Structure 1
Amino acid sequence: MLSILIPIYNYNAFPLVLELQKQCLECNLEFEIICQNDASNVFLIENNEINILENCHFSSNETNLGRGRNINKMASKANYDWLLFLDCDTFPQSSDFIKNYLLEIQKKDNPIIFGGILYDQKKPEKNQQLRWVYGHKRESLSVEKRKEKPNNRALTSNLLLEKKLFSQYPFDENLTKYGYEDLYFMMILEENKIKVTHIENPTFHLNLETSILFLNKTKIALENLLFIFNSKKIDSKDSKIISTYSSLKKLRLTSFTVYLFNLFENKISTQLISNNPSLLLFDLYKLGYFCKLQSNNNSI
């Protein structure tokens, strides 16, 4: 019936697996929970405890595969017709989380379903504000808001889909870095007329990186976005950053944008890692950094 796939990196996933196993057993369904550590070397003792649990499996990759390839590898091991992707640092809001997804499976109407993401209402530490603010404003969206752009506003951090669908459209294994795997995956589905269904069945995102770490991860993600764009895997309509970059290029303003970014990067970074980060400045930072990456790429 259901294979739950949890990619792990530097996180203790045992509490999540324990809760999911409990819910699956209560629903009396055939299930398995497959957890795969992508060559990180912390929480190994805690995560190895997963193997003690019935129908639960934990293993580690010898080398880092990247998130997409790691999920592909887990999906190839899966024994059941439905896959549930969950990030290791999430936790179901409801004790009926699995039951709610089973009801969707039984409808036999939709091959792919996104349940949503939530963030704690309580503000975190001062050095974690950027990730929290971004999550609240850009990821923790109502069902109605998500339905406006169903594929663009779905994430693979809490996603149910048919195995045969994922076998047909797996993650692109050329994307080995962090970031924008979800965007490309969802755009491929959209191009093939496959629409994500949105329901209210969220998980909490628990692990908040420091603002400095999140900013550095954003830079790596933008490198991935540049690779996706230059490989002609997506076009400007699929990303606000690419769309704005394309407009600047037509106006011959990309060099000026890079100049401004270099001039103000440190000041903007200081604001973003403060205890009151601006998402407008974050957007401008991402645009400037993307333009800089493309400029450097063109000069090679």
Structure 2
Amino acid sequence: MLSILVPVYNYSISSLVTEIHKQATHAKINFEIICIEDGSNKFVLENKSVVDGLEHASIIISSKNNGRTKSRQILSDTSKFNWLLFLDADVMPKSDRFIIKHLENIDSKYEAIYGGFAYKTIKPQKNKTLRYNFGKNFEEVDAKKRNLKPYQIVISANFLIKKEIFSKINSQIKIKSYGLDNFFGALLKENKVNVLHINNEVYHYGIEDNKLYLNKVQEFITLLLKLYNDRMFLEHSNKLLSVFVSLKKYKLNYLLSFFYKLFNNLMERNLIGPKPNMFILQLYKLSYICFKDLDS
């Protein structure tokens, strides 16, 4: 009935797989848990020991880093059930009915079901405030709002999808990069996949430090531009790209690019500091994409 699939890279999954196994067993369904160590060099033996001790659970050890897209395809190809529940290694279900709540929607007309993201209301470490604040402001979104634009906030850390649909969409992604959730969402839209959002969140624990996350923002924008310029992003719901295209149409991208050249150091100083401003982050992204486009 359900294949629960977890790609892992240098992260302990002991608590996650134990909790998921307990919930799936309690739900009294046919299930399997398959994890893949994607070229990890930390926690490998610990993770293997825990997974090997659970019924209906297995772990694949890859000596090389394939990236999430290929790792998920390996997991899908290895799975035996028609519904796939993908979970990132650095999450934990918010509810003890997490599996059951996903199962309640499995016989609906929808082909992909996104449970959502949540962040605990705790004061993050000073060097991890950027990722935390972004998550609280832009990822922790109620399902009612997400369903208004179902392809916009598609967080792959917690989603249920039909196996045939996943293979069809995932096989179209040939790029290894950070930020591919937006591309996956665009392909769901292009292929008219019926998507449902529900309030069945996982807590996100693997929060990067500010500098690393800012580097990932730049990597994501580089990817976004490549997809746009290669005309691979014909159907999308990405706000940043939509605003950028409008600015470019009226030649205002030159002004934003110049703004980035003048103020990027000041913006970055704020963003990697202990109190990053979310408006500055949005301005940074917009000016950076304009600069990057003109500089290429």
| Matched AA of 2:194 | K
Change (3 A) 1:296 1:271: same
Q: Name the residue aligned to 2:114.
A: 114
**1:138 and 2:138 correspond:** yes
Find the aligned partners of 1:175 and 1:31 in 2 and give their Cα distance. Answer: 31
Q: Name the residue aligned to 1:227.
A: 226
Q: Name the residue aligned to 1:2.
A: 2
Find the aligned partners of 1:108 and 1:243 in 2 and give their Cα distance. Answer: 32
Is the contact made by 1:123 and 1:132 (CA closer than 8 Å) also made in structure 2?
Answer: no
1:1-300 matched pairs, under 5 angstroms = 1-49=1-49, 50-105=51-106, 107-179=107-179, 181-235=180-234, 238-297=237-296
| Matched AA of 2:114 | F
| Matched AA of 2:230 | S
Is the contact made by 2:189 and 2:236 (CA closer than 8 Å) also made in structure 1?
Answer: no
Change (3 A) 1:21 1:82: same
Is the contact made by 2:118 and 2:203 (CA closer than 8 Å) also made in structure 1?
Answer: yes
Q: Name whichever of 13-22 and 223-232 sits farther off.
A: 223-232
Find the aligned partners of 1:254 and 1:146 in 2 and give their Cα distance. Answer: 29
Change (3 A) 1:228 1:96: same
Is the contact made by 2:186 and 2:235 (CA closer than 8 Å) also made in structure 1?
Answer: no
Q: Name whichever of 12-21 and 194-203 sits farther off.
A: 194-203
Is the contact made by 2:40 and 2:63 (CA closer than 8 Å) also made in structure 1?
Answer: no
Superposition TM-score, scaled by structure 1 size? 0.93
| Matched AA of 1:19 | E
Q: Secondary structure at the match of 1:238?
A: coil
Is the contact made by 2:151 and 2:237 (CA closer than 8 Å) also made in structure 1?
Answer: no
Q: Secondary structure at the match of 2:282?
A: helix
Find the aligned partners of 1:109 and 1:177 in 2 and give their Cα distance. Answer: 32
**CA offsets, 1:186-239, max 9 Å, x none?**
222222222311112111111211111111111112222122112211148632
Unaligned stretches of 5+ in structure 2?
A: none
Change (3 A) 1:69 1:237: closer
What number of residue pairs does the alignment pair up?
295
Structure 1 residue 58 displacement after superposition = 1.7
Is the contact made by 1:171 and 1:185 (CA closer than 8 Å) also made in structure 2?
Answer: no
Unaligned stretches of 5+ in structure 1?
A: none
Is the contact made by 1:151 and 1:195 (CA closer than 8 Å) also made in structure 2?
Answer: no
Q: Name whichever of 128-137 and 65-74 sits farther off.
A: 65-74
**CA offsets, 1:84-105, max 9 Å, x none?**
0111111001111111112222
Structure 1 residue 82 displacement after superposition = 0.4
| Matched AA of 2:252 | L
